[in-house]
Amino acid sequence: MHSPRSLNIDVEWQTLKNTLQQAANEALSKRKKRRNKMRLILWNEDNKNLIQNKKKVYLRYLTTCSETDKLA
């Protein structure tokens, strides 16, 4: 079992550890990265088909390098 004194030491150690880590992170300018994912709200099958067609046309242009495929 834990004695009251050992619990107090554990709490003090965690407090000291957290304080030191926070000070080190501030000194080193460490921040948590926030990733805001921008998602298209109006995503549907029409958009999916348009993108697939653009990819096909672009890949065809890359293989042939002709002006007619570039304008398509």
Tell me: the pLDDT tens digits for 23-69? 888 888 766 666 666 666 677 888 889 889 989 888 888 888 777 76
The pLDDT of residue 18 is: 93
16 backbone φψ class: left, alpha, beta (φ>0; ψ -120 to 50): alpha
Contact criterion met (CB below 8 Å) for 44 and 53: no
Better-scored residue on pLDDT, 19 or 72: 19
Residue 21 predicted with pLDDT over 70: yes
